[in-house]
Amino acid sequence: MRTQQKESFAENRKRMQSMLVSTLGQMETDTDTDVQPAAQSAAAQAAIAAAPEPHKLNVHKDGLEPQFRIKAALIEGESVRDKLNNLSMMLDGKIAPTRKPFMRKMQLDDVTEAYIVIPVGDTESIAQAESLKVKHFDDDGTETSHPLQRLTSTEDNKEKARSVEVNSLRFNTTEGAVRAAFSRWGEIEFVRMRLSTSGKTASATVYFTSTVSVERLKDDGKTMVFIGNDTGRIIRRGTEMIPFKPTLDCKAVGLPAGCTANHLEEMNTKHGVAYINMFIHPQRHHRPREAYLSFTSQEAHDKFRAATFTINGNPVSIVPIEIKACLSCGSISHLIKDCEARTQQRQRIAVRKELTTRPVREIFSSNANNKRYNGPMPKAVVTVQSAARGATSYGNIVKQGLQTKAKANT
């Protein structure tokens, strides 16, 4: 049985290899036994090198990925998802998009309209898209045909010139918060929000009504924006990309508890820090006492490293990004597992929990049936109660408890 399966597998493998070679026009007949395997391999490699690549990406001469557009109003469907699904069904078997079609608002004829953009890559799909027409029925029942139009680099740059792109936002950042942060530079037409693949961060593209707003933002030299207690990195201002240099990144450690990016705004406005990121730890759900700093020039980086900083009287250390710091106190001398401040904090939390679940009046209860309270008090509770009552020993605490009980009985 196994022998037959092996023979069948070998025959199928040989047949598939023969089919692959035959598509290259280099297959020899089964009766030809004079060709050596090495010669066949060399011939196949030569055929592969000389054969055309039908699915090679055909980049447009202006450098833009080949994309076609159609007005969203011409596609049936009530919601955006319905329109995209209906268009995908129309294109099925005719065009092979490199990625999913997406909705994009563009101001092409001095009127902002929603378009569906279809990215394509292979030459066959491009030829099909250029000849494809979409049928649409008007309100009076008249049938019209509308061809897919090529999205040119001029049209794309016209849209980019009036927009700003920002990333590294918190995953729950709202469109309203982004509008409020950018509205001081001019009137905003619309904001397009996107969530990252991991779901941890978000990005946004802000479209202004004119390019004047983008020029104002450039004149201010803005490379980051404050949104609540968080920040966003501006990576594009119009057609200009912000040249962040990851090799110059560093971080500030030893920040005081409760510090947010807003407390570090002077680093951005006065000391040339291009971007400040204080992320929330995904497992601990709080901000570590450190901030990641980015720069766009070596000069700004060197000038910043030469300065000294204090926040609320606490000295702040600037260290390379590779240096690890304690996530609790921010010290670089130890990690969180060896942090004494964190250990003391956890003890205080345990004591507070013990006092909440076991009130003092129940601890000193004399009810014989309630034996669970007749045992000795935890040492941590004794220490806290001693400080609260002014007592110095466990005996004093018991004595005060008995006095309280006697007063209650009288």
Q: What is the pLDDT of residues 205-252, one digit of tens each?
A: 999 999 999 999 999 989 999 988 889 999 999 999 998 888 889 988
Instruction: State how far the Cα of 195 lies from the Cα of 168, in Å rounded to an integer.
Output: 10
Angle between helices 379-389 and 340-357 (to 10 degrees): 80
Residue 174 near residue 232, CB atoms below 8 Å:
no
Residue 343 is assigned to a structural domain of this protein: no
Q: Is residue 350 part of a domain?
A: no
Q: Structure pTM? A: 0.63
Does residue 324 have a pLDDT over 60? yes
Write down how long the chain is: 410
Taking a C-beta distance cutoff of 8 angstroms, is the pair 146, 168 a contact? no
Closest to 96 in 3D by CA, of 63, 66, 119, 130: 119
Domain final position from 157, 183, 215: 157
Residue 273: which CATH number?
3.30.70.330
Residues 262 and 330 in one domain: yes
Q: What is the CATH number of the domain that holds 106?
A: 3.30.70
Q: Which residues pair with 70 in a beta bridge?
A: 116
Domain boundary among 191, 212, 242: 242
Q: What is the pLDDT of residue 58?
A: 45
Domain containing residue 316: 248-338
| Cβ contact 192:207 at 8 Å | yes
Task: Check whether residue 221 and residue 193 sit in a common domain.
Answer: yes
75 and 151, same domain (yes or no): yes
Q: Greater confidence, 346 or 169?
A: 169
Read off the pLDDT of residues 306-321 as tens digits, 9 standing for 90 and up.
888 888 888 888 888 8
Q: Does the residue 395 lie in any domain?
A: yes
Number of domains making up the chain: 5
Tens-place pLDDT, residues 259-289: 888 888 888 888 889 999 887 766 666 777 8
Instruction: Give the least confident one: 3-12, 124-133, 297-306, 398-407.
Output: 3-12
pLDDT at res. 264: 86
Residue 332 lies in a domain: yes
Do 93 and 32 belong to one domain? no
Residues 6 or more apart from 277 whose CB is under 8 A from it? 168, 231, 233, 261, 291, 292, 293, 294
Q: Edge-to-edge strands of the sheet including 112-119?
A: 102-107, 112-119, 67-71, 149-150
pLDDT, tens digit, 9 for 90 and up, residues 8-30: 545 544 433 333 333 333 333 34
pLDDT for the residue 409 = 61
pLDDT category of residue 51 using cuts at 50, 70 and 90 = very low
Q: Is 305 helix (H, G, I), strand (E, B) or coil?
A: helix
**120-152: pLDDT as tens digits:** 888 888 888 888 888 888 877 788 888 888 988
Mean pLDDT, the chain, whole residue set: 76
